[in-house]
Amino acid sequence: MKKINLIFGTHNHQPIGNFDSVFEDAYQRAYKPFLDVYERFAHIKISKHYTGILYEWLLEHHQDIFDRLKTLVSKGNVELIGGGFYEPILAVIPDEDKIGQVEKLAKFIKKHFGFKATGLWLAERIWEQHLTKPLAQAGVDYVILDDTHFKFAGLSEEELLGYYITEEQGYTTNLFPISKALRYTIPFQPVEKTIEYLRSVATDDGKRVVVFADDGEKFGVWPNTYDHVYTKNRWLEKFFQALTDNRDWIRTMTFQEAVAELKPIGRIYLANASYAEMMHWSLPTAKSYRAYEKFEHDLKDEGMLDGNDVFVRGGFWRNFMVKYPESNQMHKRMLEVSERARELAEQGKKISAKTLDKIWAAQCNCPYWHGVFGGTYLPNLRHPIYQNLIDAETDLDKVDNADGAVTASVTDFDKDGQEEVILKSNELALYIKPSEGGKLIELDYKPAHKNILDVLTRREEGYHQQLKSPPKPTNTGAEGVASIHDVVKMKEANLASHLNYDGYRRGSFIERFLIDGVTVQDVYQSKPCDAGDFIISPYTHKLSGTKAKQVLTLDCDGHVYTNGKTYAAHITKTITLQKNKSEFTVNYAVNLLSDDALRVRFAVENCYGLLAGDAHDRYYYFDNQLLEHNRLRSIGETRAAMIGLKDEWLKIHARLEASEEATVMRYPIETISLSEDGFERVYQGSCVLMCFDIELTKKPYALTLVQKFSRL
């Protein structure tokens, strides 16, 4: 009788910052019912991976699952897989952090389950060959990857029924390919489809190994899967029963058993890759995204895709940091804090394990990219990244800058070949980008551990086309269920009407000259509004100051276009940050470079990312005025010399004061993104424009703005 070895594994994860209700829902709909079914078939060997984030939540909220897992592990039928504790993209974090995160999870598993985890679940299966060395140094014996990676190296389907060894600088680890065939049949197709596939690859010597390893959330959390897997179709019970009925030729085994009993097929070196969908999502523009999609569909229609799909691939994961500068900002901020901690440690200064842990927590991968899940579009996922980074930096300040001196540095912070200026005190951190309008791209209010500029720019996504043309229905068969990649739902009607795109990256202290008659609705809808070109023009910069005060002076020559004429103009913007103050001052001098006189509307644009737009405890206020609609998602215009925003949940009070009265426009920054629950409108933050109607001449017009913060 022909036989086959099957390794069946699941990966369970929830990101830092996800709501408790989401954790609980996943527990009730996937993690718990999976074990409920499996315990009736505990003779079957399976492999389970839980991220450290999820382990800690389960330990706090459902201690009983630890006892159940420990019993199953002690019997030898459940293998626990290791990985990075906080589920980072290992390829893009420092090697010291790679090793630290892997060792932290291994120690946790050993402490709570008495099991030595020697394998690694690689977040999003994002592989780069240099990972081999640090993973081997961390004691990793095997890594689980998509079979697509191996096909890119030229291997055929038949050459993927086992595992390979790989090497970097003499360090080795083993690589297991995940079967794409099983990834698409389990649990979406009838159980018979999986059994038929296993029968087709079984051999007389029974040495082949087939691997299924995928998200545990596919078993209950993904759309329509709970009924399919547990109640209506009882897919999981039927699957385990089928394995039981066919155990005379299907042997279930663990990864550790495979490495111990079977030799690797051979040595392999793999290209940089992730799973196919991820490489599609990482394409840097909506145009390239749709072009790839069309090309793949054209090949399929012509019958040319099957057998040739290995030669059709999308982009490279790291280009998410090109596609989303906000993702790049988080990543480079993480590298900055991690490097500072290492440098201080090398100087002999004591860096606590808690501080390092905050840095590692900020490496959780989910908000750094976006695909079928909300990812970087979700403020509640980005917020804890910055929260941990700013908290860690505050710890490091106590070690390295106890007197609270104001510092200034000029560096290519975001690694784009242009210099950024960074001003820091013990209260605030300001990241300024002279090459793009001299705007602030990060504004950290340290007492609240909050990046006030954690706001995502409104961009066109390739999948936005689906909002304009209805998708074709998916036929899954009598007992099947559609994959999350094939399901298209809308969380509210008329979402296409909210597709507004920004022509520049969001930030604060952006200078604009507005066309006559522009309304707040025009600005909200990104209609042509500007009569100037200062928004993205490069500014020169000059620093001066002391430990008590740092002053940054930014200058730009630009143009104002109105009445069919072009006027040369100049802006000087001076930013002053002082010690022990939760505020900074921005002084403007704006003038024409000719003897003309020009009536213009000069506007300064600021953004505030305060997490919730519709909550009653997040709102605007004006001195001595009552707003009919004051929530942060409101739209309006008000005459005032100030505007305040309060977030009672975060306990943040932001107040912007001007030296003269202005027309203050306010509107929400809302994006339309794809999530597991369908297309949704997400409040990213609030935009405030202070608009001043002035006469512009050769004599500089002077204006002062003060941005203040306090704790509620």
Residue 357: active-site member: no
Strand order in the sheet with 82-83: 82-83, 119-121, 142-146, 171-178, 164-168
Report the alpha-carbon angle 238-474-198, nearest 5.
Answer: 35
Q: Could you give the CA distance from residue 353 to residue 363 in angstroms, rounded to a whole number?
A: 16
Q: Could you give the CA distance from residue 550 to residue 405 in angstroms, rounded to a whole number?
A: 10
610 in Cβ contact with 684 (< 8 Å): no
Which tokens hold the place of 686? Answer: 């609030």
Q: Could you give the CA distance from residue 348 to residue 350 in angstroms, rounded to a whole number?
A: 6
Rounded to the nearest 10 degrees, the angle between the axes of helix 325-346 and helix 95-113 is: 80
DSSP annotation string for 269-283: ---SB--HHHHHHT-
Indicate the helix (H) or strand (E) that contains 399.
Answer: helix 379-400
Other C-beta atoms within 10 Å of 34: how many?
A: 20
Indicate the helix (H) or strand (E) that contains 299.
Answer: helix 286-301
Q: CA neighbours within 13 Å on the CB side: how many for 495? A: 22
Q: CA neighbours within 13 Å on the CB side: how many for 535? A: 17
Strands (E), 648-700: 652-675, 678-696
Q: Of 157, 215, 502, 637, which residue is the catalytic one?
A: 215
Residue 346: active-site member: no
Residue 701: exposure state from Cβ atoms within 10 A (0-12, 13-18, ≥19): middle
Which tokens hold the place of 692? Answer: 């001043």
Question: Distance from CA of residue 546 to its chain's centroid?
Answer: 37
Question: Distance from CA of residue 168 to its chain's centroid?
Answer: 29
Q: Could you give the CA distance from residue 452 to residue 443 in angstroms, rounded to a whole number?
A: 5
At residue 160, the 3 state secondary structure works out as: helix
679 in Cβ contact with 491 (< 8 Å): yes
Report the alpha-carbon angle 368-372-375, nearest 5.
Answer: 25
DSSP secondary-structure letter at 614? Answer: S
133 in Cβ contact with 173 (< 8 Å): no
> Which residues neighbour 683 within 8 Å (Cβ) at sequence distance 6 or greater?
379, 612, 613, 614, 632, 633, 668, 669, 670
Indicate the helix (H) or strand (E) that contains 512.
Answer: strand 510-514
Q: Of 79, 87, 97, 124, which residue is the catalytic one?
A: 124
Catalytic residues, by residue number, are 124, 215
